[in-house]
């Protein structure tokens, strides 16, 4: 089984991308809805939650684990890799690799939660590959609650997106990384506000193609993964709103199972 966790429901954007790239692979998802959001918490707290979530997925039989949450990927990947002996995937590196290739003179904008932007991980990874690249980040803390309220096409959301993107637009970025699970749901508005010449990198799609390439190369691991098209969704707190968003995101009936972490 492929195990995936996120701070809540946003990681379903990664599940959706996986369903397209690796159709039929069994997936077990954990949304830590009782402790969400992670983006406003300290890195120590996020690390602790991320380790507990990984342990839960492994106990349920996951053979590989994807950290769908950008915030957890930013601050907890190392601790997870040190503590567990299974392949671990995070969402930062695949997005960085894609962003570097979109232009000869990369001028890259990154949007994410406060914790992700504060970690500086995207800048660090981009500069490791291309020290010449120009990189600008902007934390967009209001976007997660707006998406969770379902305010995707509201004028207020469009206005807030425009305001957040303004400093990146002024810098004339040519590439924009959506460094948060929720932002792919705002992709159309973001593209309109940043301009159609800017390439948008969706980290959910980037990680799905990265996992696919890994499994094609590592057949012994691929053989271990069951492929019966079973999807199981656990959350640490069940609310009607989450079930509604999950169903509309994945366009199928989703029944969330409650678990205590
Ligand atoms: N999943 C988080 C991320 O991708 C966004 C929501 C949160 O703050 O927990 O950074």
Let me know whether 73 and 164 are in one domain: no
Domains identified in the chain, total number: 2
**Ligand 1 mean position, distance from CA 27 (Å):** 20
Q: Which residue puts its alpha carbon closest to atom 6 of ligand 1?
A: 37
The reported pLDDT for the residue numbered 202 is 93
Q: What mean pLDDT comes out for the span 232-261?
A: 88
The reported pLDDT for the residue numbered 252 is 85
Please tell me if the CB atom of residue 71 comes closer than 6 angstroms to any atom of ligand 1.
Answer: yes
Let me know whether 174 and 249 are in one domain: no
Tell whether the torsion through CA atoms of 168, 172, 173 and 176 is positive or negative: positive
What DSSP line would sit under 90-138, residue for residue?
Answer: ESHHHHHHHHHTS-SS-EEEEEE-HHHHHHTHHHHHHHHH-TT-EEEEE
The reported pLDDT for the residue numbered 148 is 86
Closest CA to 154 of 163, 146, 144, 162: 146
Let me know whether 49 and 150 are in one domain: no
Let me know whether 124 and 178 are in one domain: yes
Last residue of a domain, one of 180, 202, 224: 202
Closest CA to 174 of 193, 200, 192: 200
CATH number of the domain residue 67 falls in: 3.40.50.1860
Mean pLDDT of the chain, nearest integer: 95
Catalytic residue of the set 68, 69, 144, 206: 69
90-145: pLDDT as tens digits:
999 999 999 998 888 999 999 999 999 999 999 999 999 999 999 999 999 999 99
Last residue of a domain, one of 162, 184, 202: 202
Let me know whether 16 and 115 are in one domain: no
Let me know whether 64 and 188 are in one domain: no
Point out the ligand 1 atom lying closest to the alpha carbon of residue 113: 10
**Ligand 1 mean position, distance from CA 183 (Å):** 10
Write out the residue range of the structural domain in which residue 141 sits.
92-202
Closest CA to 46 of 1, 96, 4, 5: 5
Percent of the chain with pLDDT over 90: 88
Beta-carbon-side half-sphere exposure of residue 54 (alpha carbons within 13 Å): 29
pLDDT of residue 68 exceeding 90, the answer is yes
Please tell me if the CB atom of residue 3 comes closer than 6 angstroms to any atom of ligand 1.
Answer: no
Looking at residue 36, the DSSP 8-state letter turns out to be -
180 catalytic residue (yes or no)? yes
Please tell me if the CB atom of residue 157 comes closer than 6 angstroms to any atom of ligand 1.
Answer: no
Let me know whether 111 and 186 are in one domain: yes
pLDDT of residue 227 exceeding 90, the answer is yes
The reported pLDDT for the residue numbered 97 is 95
Listed in sequence order, the residues at least 6 apart from 255 whose beta carbon sits closer than 8 Å to its beta carbon are 233, 243
Q: What mean pLDDT comes out for the span 1-10?
A: 95
pLDDT of residue 240 exceeding 90, the answer is no
Let me know whether 162 and 62 are in one domain: no
Cα 4 to Cα 234: distance, rounded to the nearest angstrom: 10
Cα 26 to Cα 8: distance, rounded to the nearest angstrom: 20
Let me know whether 85 and 127 are in one domain: no
Say whether pTM exceeds 0.75. yes
Last residue of a domain, one of 202, 225, 249: 202
Give the distance, in angstroms, between the CA of residue 146 and the centroid of all CA atoms in the same chain: 17
Asked whether the beta carbons of 31 and 242 are under 8 A apart, the reply is yes
The answer to whether the bond into 37 is cis (omega within 30° of 0) is yes
Let me know whether 227 and 216 are in one domain: yes
Asked whether the beta carbons of 106 and 100 are under 8 A apart, the reply is yes
Cα 248 to Cα 3: distance, rounded to the nearest angstrom: 21
Let me know whether 30 and 77 are in one domain: yes
128-139: pLDDT as tens digits:
999 999 999 999
Catalytic residue of the set 22, 91, 92, 180: 180
140 catalytic residue (yes or no)? no
Tell whether the torsion through CA atoms of 196, 199, 204 and 205 is positive or negative: positive
Residue 248 — very low, low, confident or very high, per pLDDT cuts 50/70/90?
confident
The reported pLDDT for the residue numbered 156 is 98
Listed in sequence order, the residues at least 6 apart from 158 whose beta carbon sits closer than 8 Å to its beta carbon are 189, 193
Point out the ligand 1 atom lying closest to the alpha carbon of residue 11: 1
Let me know whether 198 and 235 are in one domain: no
Please tell me if the CB atom of residue 184 comes closer than 6 angstroms to any atom of ligand 1.
Answer: no
The reported pLDDT for the residue numbered 150 is 86
């Amino acid at each position: 089984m492929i195990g995936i966790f996120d701070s809540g429901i946003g990681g379903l954007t990664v599940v959706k991308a996986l369903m397209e790239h690796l159709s039929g692979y069994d997936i077990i998802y954990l949304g830590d809805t009782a402790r969400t959001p992670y983006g406003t918490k300290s890195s120590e707290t996020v690390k602790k939650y991320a380790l507990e979530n990984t342990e839960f997925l492994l106990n349920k039989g996951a053979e590989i684990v994807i950290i769908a949450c950008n915030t957890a990927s930013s601050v907890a990947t190392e601790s997870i890799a040190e503590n567990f002996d299974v392949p671990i995937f995070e969402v930062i590196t695949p997005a960085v690799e894609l962003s570097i290739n979109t232009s000869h003179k990369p001028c890259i904008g990154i949007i994410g939660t406060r914790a992700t932007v504060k970690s500086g991980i995207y800048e660090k990874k981009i500069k490791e590959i291309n020290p010449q690249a120009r990189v600008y980040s902007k934390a967009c803390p209001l976007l997660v609650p707006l998406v969770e309220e379902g305010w995707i096409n509201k004028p207020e959301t469009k206005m807030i997106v425009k305001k957040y993107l303004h400093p990146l637009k002024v810098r004339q970025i040519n590439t924009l990384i959506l460094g948060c699970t929720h932002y792919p749901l705002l992709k159309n508005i973001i593209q309109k506000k940043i301009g159609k010449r800017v390439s948008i990198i969706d980290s959910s799609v980037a990680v799905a193609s990265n996992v696919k390439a890994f499994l094609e190369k590592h057949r012994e691991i691929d053989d271990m993964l069951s492929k019966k098209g079973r999807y199981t969704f656990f959350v640490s707190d069940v609310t009607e709103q989450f079930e509604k968003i999950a169903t509309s995101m994945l366009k199928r009936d989703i029944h969330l199972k409650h678990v205590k972490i």
